[in-house]
Amino acid sequence: MKDTRPRNMDLTTIKLPVMGLASILHRICAVIIWFSLAWFLPLLFLSLQGAEGFENVQLLISGNFIAQFFTWGFLTALGYYMMGGIKHLIQEFGYFETLEGGKLISQVAIASGILLSVLFGFWVWD
């Protein structure tokens, strides 16, 4: 049997609903967090060795734009991941389960993730 359904292989023409975007961003942030642990766990270990180790980590991050950008990216991913987790918890309790409610809570989660990203940027580059 021949399949005659139309196929759209151009992914740039597909518009995701905001709930799908929130879900994909949540998954991407999880991947970023896991890969970032390869950088942050050794730094955490070094910073917990004592005052000298903490100062070394602080000098490494404060004087290096790449390290600051990486730290900001990690914190942004972590912040949005937490907002997405809170969104899922609220929905698990039975709130915002309608289509309109799902759109609203997804928009709130994305907006709060952007706000956290800006706040983390001010904190890292201050």
pLDDT of 8: 78
Spell out the domains of the chain, with CATH numbers in brackets: 18-124 (1.20.1300.10)
Buried-exposed string 19-54: b where 16+ CB fall within 10 A, e elsewhere:
beebbebbeebbebeeebeeeeeebeeebeeeeeee
pLDDT of 103: 97
Q: For residues 81 and 102, what is the distance between their CA atoms, to the nearest angstrom?
A: 17
What 3-state class would DSSP assign to 59? helix
pLDDT of 120: 97
Q: What is the mean pLDDT of each run of 10 residues along the chain (126 residues)?
A: 80 87 96 95 95 94 93 97 97 96 97 98 91
